[in-house]
Amino acid sequence: MEQLDQQQAETLGAIADATTLDALEAIRVSALGKQGWVSALLKTMGQLSPEERQAKGPQIHGAREAVTTALAARKAALESAVLDARLAAEAVDLSLPAPESPRGSVHPVSQVMDELAEIFADMGFAVASGPEIEDDWHNFTALNMPETHPARAMHDTFYFPDKDGEGRDMLLRTHTSPVQIRAMLKDGAPLRIIAPGRVYRSDSDATHTPMFHQIEGLVIDKGIHLGHLKWTLETFLKAFFERDDIVLRLRPSYFPFTEPSVEVDVGYTLVGGKRVVGGSGDAPGGGWMEVLGSGMVNRKVIEFGGLDPDEWQGFAFGTGVDRLAMLKYGLDDLRAFFDGDARWLGHYGFGALDVPTLSGGVGVKP
């Protein structure tokens, strides 16, 4: 039995000294394996007399227990050391830039819409939206375009064959103005909104697509006048083109839904033979480019919006998002916008994480 004590002490010592899982496994085999010393002692128990078995049994089983427990504890310690070593060796350095994984790009129209929403949000405008399938009351009548108005003709507007539940003609909206009529009726005044979105006209050539993108803005409040309109558009255009030297030229015009109506041009100048937005268009080599239509909201339209025009006044404006995108980013083919060509998008698209108002430089193609 002294031999057993000694073997057990040796084995436990070897377990404590084992530095690898392989070494530990060898110790396990030498003690508990088929030929191991603990197994050999257990086998001898069958030949012992009952008295001897009672005397030695607990010691032998105790040895097996002690070795098994020590092996398990040492194995757990070695395994966690192996894991610690791996974690240290394979540590991820979170200060390194993440590898780029290209997954498509943001269309220039979406990019410009984001920029517009951002710029107008800074001026207190909310983004409003509405249906692309409209009725002729919201699209035309409420905008002071009566039954006889030429824009209502089939050759301009896409109509649906059926009427809606209220007996009105259904059509694809030709501008985003009906969104603003709906906002006036729903939210009342004061109101400061922009309405960006798709609009549809029966028109298709090199510079017109049957679907295009428009953004309109509407401010309704007390005592609103043309000065508010001019400041807002000037502030917007400076932010959008990211230049402080944007010069506006306001020209009298006509829209059924505004009175008076104002067309807004921006000046461009020649820089290295290229037309670039900024500066007075009257400078040598320069010129004026129309970018916006606008005006004071017609009294009749304010009434159609459910408000009293003696109490509430407003201004409104509208422009093409596609055209703004072409101007700002120097794109020259409108039709390429809607071809869905991945090569075009790969070239002109923006990264998903680009900030909305990044400067691409302003290029106006001659």
Q: Which is nearer to ligand 2NL, 79 or 303 (CB)?
A: 303
Helices (H) and strands (E) in the chain, counts: 11, 11
Contact residue for ligand 2NL among 71, 109, 189, 218 (CB under 6 A): 218
Of the candidate spans 75-83, 90-98, 116-124, 174-182, the one that interacts with ligand 2NL by CB under 6 A turns out to be 174-182
Q: How far is the CB of 144 from ligand 2NL (least distance, A)?
A: 9
Q: Does residue 319 belong to the site contacting ligand 2NL (CB under 6 A)?
A: yes
Quick check: 267 and 278 in contact, CB under 8 A? yes
Q: Is 259 annotated as a binding residue?
A: yes
Site for ligand 2NL in 230-259 (CB under 6 A): 255, 257-258
Q: Residues with Cβ < 8 Å from 220, sequence gap 6 or more?
A: 184, 189, 190, 191, 192, 297, 302, 305, 307, 312, 313, 314
Q: Which residue is nearest to ligand 2NL (CB)?
A: 318
Q: How far is the CB of 216 from ligand 2NL (least distance, A)?
A: 5
The residue among 274, 283, 257 whose CA lies nearest residue 330 is 274
Q: Which spans in the chain are helix H?
A: 2-17, 21-32, 37-44, 50-89, 108-122, 136-139, 177-187, 226-241, 299-304, 321-329, 342-348
Contact residue for ligand 2NL among 70, 237, 301, 364 (CB under 6 A): 301
Q: Residues with Cβ < 8 Å from 182, sequence gap 6 or more?
A: 128, 130, 138
The residue among 70, 89, 63 whose CA lies nearest residue 2 is 63
**How many residues comprise the chain?**
366
Site for ligand 2NL in 178-207 (CB under 6 A): 180-181
Q: Which is nearer to ligand 2NL, 197 or 295 (CB)?
A: 295
Site for ligand 2NL in 266-285 (CB under 6 A): none
Q: Which is nearer to ligand 2NL, 313 or 319 (CB)?
A: 319
Strands, sheet with 133-135, edge to edge from the N-terminal-most edge strand? 133-135, 169-172, 159-163
Contact residue for ligand 2NL among 317, 337, 348, 350 (CB under 6 A): 317
Question: With contacts defined by CB under 6 A, how many residues of the chain interact with ligand 2NL?
Answer: 19
Chain positions contacting ligand 2NL, by CB under 6 A? 177, 180-181, 214, 216, 218, 255, 257-258, 293-295, 297, 301, 316-320
- Residues annotated as binding site for Mg(2+)? 259
